[in-house]
Amino acid sequence: MANLTDEIKKRRTFAIISHPDAGKTTLTEKLLLFGGAIHVAGAVKSNKIKKTATSDWMEIEKQRGISVATSVMGFEYEGFKINILDTPGHQDFAEDTFRTLTAVDSVIIVIDAAKGVEQQTRRLMEVCRMRNTPVIIFVNKMDREGRDPFDILDELENELKIKVRPLSWPINMGAKFKGVYNIYEHDLSLFKPDKQHVTERMEIKDINDPHIDEVVGKDDAQKLRDDIELIDGVYPPFDELDYLDGHLAPVFFGSALNTFGVKELLDCFIHIAPSPQPTQAVERVVEPGEEKFTGFVFKIQANMDPNHRSCIAFVKVCSGVFHRNQYYYHVRSDKQMRFTAPTAFMAQKKEIIDEVYPGDVVGLPDNGVFKIGDTLTEGEKIHFKGLPSFSPEMFKYIENTDPMKTKQLNKGIEQLMDEGVAQLFVNQFNNRKIIGTVGQLQFEVIQYRLLHEYGASCRWEPVHLYKACWIESDDDEALEAFKRRKHQFMALDREGRDVFLADSSYVLSIAQQDFPKIKFHFTSEF
Ligand code: G4P
């Protein structure tokens, strides 16, 4: 068996996040190209569903079917084992992305140079900030006319609320784009549009090297020197610890489509990005180097074959080594389980694996035992934190339309909620079930899957709600008084926690004023 400490040190597990269309898929593909994991561009068929109209559900199904393979992409690069955890591009599946972010040690954010910071990036960054996840920013599409790079840096700082520090710098953009100067390693790459190959980097002594004038021209060389001088004047030197604490984001510029500026990003990433970090459990902090295996389920992916309902549970290894055919303790069910065919994810392939190390993800075949957030250990009863549910954006009552199939419907709802497809709240006043989602698409997913996988049919009825807030108080009496007063709007989530269903922002703010002893939370973890 390989040395556990060495295996941990060489691992980098991260996610790429962006607003749809900024270039996440393209960048992912180029990183795989560098890792030799794929050989031609265009090979990653990604699970992007964004271009499909909402109504085209069958198309989405098809695309989701292939997304298992691209959910986790592992590859080797320069002696490092890199795991990219894919996140769905479509914003209606944002909750999936939030959960994936709990399983990574760092994040790369892709920004479109012309569009700057967009809405979904802002939201995802909030999640990173909550968890102090280190982020690196890649400003993409420099081959097109975009905004002034200094303006982009200001916008990143203001909108993403994080300090920034450029580590590469573009020489012009659009039609005049000439290349990037690598501030981190002091070399220069000249831009040559090429979708398949990697541009050679040119060693230079420093920014004053006259060679720069020869290759980019005097004016552009001067402009570059002025820019770098300005950068060094405005931005403090790059501080790695600040980055690791999640307070400072290094910024790179390039064009993913042209495989340009990507190597600078990757080479810096492997050196500064954190290796697997300790994981916080309710009971204690779990260190990756601990001898005994622990891990948690952060994603469950259903097989779209309606004839057999089989799933894959994605388990992030937090500590120790996971072995095939060994018994592990499933904490929630208090049972021992053994896995004969665990799978590893290398590039886009899934293969059976014998040993899995911290930072890696192992796929376990699941026929309905696993729930998002479940913990596996060698016997210790621990529960990992950090899989919060966020207050949904849309709510609907779910109603049974076939009284003969009530059992199937209830089972289907339970299992889909276990998979984390949406959230269920039971109104304590009328006992009706409310499903909360991030977007309309999830309602369609649920209805379709209930019918095709469970033979149950349902219909949606409107319920006018603004937010679901988890409530708590140090003062039991105050809590009871609140629940009595708001009894029509109280619900329980699946863990039996109290949730207040506010029907407008006005009602919510009045409630916050009138009940100062009650804490209102917009995520289930506080
Ligand atoms: P996403 O996963 O973040 O949604 O973005 P994706 O990589 O699919 O990229 C969105 C579009 O932007 C694609 O074009 C892609 O080719 C283009 N793109 C990505 N990187 C660059 C870049 O560096 N420069 C330029 N000019 N374009 C870039 P598309 O036409 O929408 O899709 P496709 O038909 O090319 O796949």
Q: How many angstroms does the Cα of residue 510 sit away from the middle of ligand 1? A: 46
Q: Where in the chain is the domain with CATH 3.40.50.300?
A: 15-71+88-272, 279-377
pLDDT(56) > 70: no
Topology given in CATH for the domain delimited by 279-377: Rossmann fold (3.40.50)
Reported as a single tens digit per residue, the pLDDT across 457-508 is 999 999 999 999 999 999 999 999 999 999 999 999 988 999 999 999 999 9
Reported as a single tens digit per residue, the pLDDT across 238-297 is 999 999 999 999 999 999 999 899 989 999 999 999 999 999 999 999 999 999 999 999
487-506 in b/e form (b: 16+ CB < 10 A) is: eebbbebeeeebbbbbeeee
Give the C-alpha separation, 32 to 74, whole Å.
Answer: 9
Q: How many angstroms does the Cα of residue 257 sit away from the middle of ligand 1? A: 7
pTM of the model: 0.84
Q: How many angstroms does the Cα of residue 256 sit away from the middle of ligand 1? A: 8
Reported as a single tens digit per residue, the pLDDT across 83-96 is 999 887 666 677 77
- Name the residue of 26, 32, 44, 145 to mutate for ligand 1: max ligand atoms within 8 A of Cβ: 26
Q: What is the DSSP letter of 271?
A: H
Helix (H), strand (E), coil (C) string for 369-393: CCCCCCEEECCCCCCECCCCCECCC
Q: Tell whether ligand 1 has an atom less than 6 A from the beta carbon of residue 277.
A: no
Q: Tell whether ligand 1 has an atom less than 6 A from the beta carbon of residue 22.
A: yes
Closest-CA residue, ligand 1 atom 26, reads: 141
Q: Tell whether ligand 1 has an atom less than 6 A from the beta carbon of residue 140.
A: yes
Give the C-alpha separation, 81 to 419, whole Å.
Answer: 28
What was the pLDDT predicted at 198?
Answer: 57
Q: Tell whether ligand 1 has an atom less than 6 A from the beta carbon of residue 146.
A: no
Domain 15-71+88-272 sits in CATH 3.40.250.10: no
Query: What's the mean pLDDT when you consider all of the chain?
Result: 87
What was the pLDDT predicted at 52?
Answer: 40
Give the C-alpha separation, 219 to 445, whole Å.
Answer: 56
Instruction: Please state, for a pLDDT cut of 70, what percent of the chain lies above it.
Output: 87
Reported as a single tens digit per residue, the pLDDT across 214-233 is 888 999 999 999 999 999 99
pLDDT(139) > 50: yes
pLDDT(135) > 90: yes
Q: How many CB atoms lie within 10 A of CB 420?
A: 20
Domain 394-521 sits in CATH 3.30.70.3280: yes
